[in-house]
Structures are given as C-alpha cells and as structure tokens.
Copies of this chain bind each other. A is one copy, B any other.
C-alpha cells in the first residue's frame, strides 16, 4: 500500500505558498522549479489541490497559484485526500455473506470486526494528519532550515512571487 508520490510534491508546493498568503502566489513553472520537478506532473497535483479548494488558480489564470484559505485551515489530511483520493484504504467485500455459514445481509448492519478494526486504525491515521496544519508545518520547516536558508528561500520568493491579479 503506497501513497501516491504526488502527495509529497503537493505538500511541498503548499508549504512554499504559506509565506505568500494572502496576497501573493507562484506560477506553476516557479512551483516546479523550486524543487526541480517536472512541470506537467506538478500541474497535475496543483489541479487536484484546486479541485479540493486548497489552492486557487490553474490553467485559466496562466497556472498562477495561491492558497485558497488561511494556512492554519489546511491540514496534511486535506492534501492527502485531495491528491490520493477520499476512499478508505481498507475495502470490505462482506465475505462473511458467502459460503456454507454465510450471514444474511440483514444480519450484517454492523461492520464486520475485521473491517471495523482497519477502519478504526484508518481514523487514527487521518486524525494524526488532521493535527498538522500548514501554518504549524511551515514554522517547523523554517526552524529546521535555520536563518541562512530561510533568507535564501526568501530571496528566491521575492524574485518569483507575484500578486493576485
């Protein structure tokens, strides 16, 4: 079970947009350039983020993107679900309703214990990601980078960011 690789890219792209909120954003080509990623694939992630209401922008605006809401209101879970899809990881095919000792559908209103266990774990997973918002994440990234690298990134931002039009 692997998370779509685009989730990592989308997460980094969103983190890059945090210091520009609320007035500024980056072009698709700048978003791709910052992490040396192929532009078409970066476009795919940005479109998924836009569909989920995490960023605004896209093709109609020449691939210029800004966060769509305050960084404190966007979580890693939002980014995961936007890019990787909303469906649960575990699918229950109700095999308890098959075979010589099959349960009747009417007796299967409560989820099977195996499915329930996996779904409970999945909720713990999601809850953990729900606790990490972009504002907190961005602060932690800056602290980890240290002042010199933050200044260098700030310089790059200054040269590449544009205002919302």
* Partner-B contacts on A (CB < 8 A): 1-5, 7-9, 11-12, 15, 33-37, 76, 80, 84-85, 87, 89-93, 95-96, 98-103, 110, 112-115, 117-118, 120-122, 124-129, 132, 137, 140-141, 144-145, 149, 152-153, 156
With A3-B90, A120-B128 known, 15 other A-B pairs at CB within 8 A are A3-B91, A8-B92, A8-B114, A12-B96, A12-B114, A36-B99, A36-B102, A100-B156, A103-B149, A117-B137, A118-B129, A121-B126, A122-B125, A124-B128, A125-B125
> Is the CB–CB distance between B129 and A117 below 8 Å?
yes
Instruction: Show 22 A/B contacts (Cβ-Cβ < 8 Å), sorted by A.
Output: A1-B3, A1-B84, A3-B90, A5-B93, A7-B118, A8-B92, A8-B93, A8-B95, A9-B95, A33-B99, A35-B95, A36-B95, A36-B98, A37-B95, A37-B98, A76-B114, A101-B149, A101-B152, A103-B145, A103-B149, A114-B137, A124-B127
Which of A34, A118, A156 has the most CB atoms of chain B within a 10 A radius of its CB? A118
Question: Closest Cβ of chain B: how far from A141's Cβ, in Å?
Answer: 5
- Within 8 Å by CB of A110, from B87, B99, B127, B144, lies B144
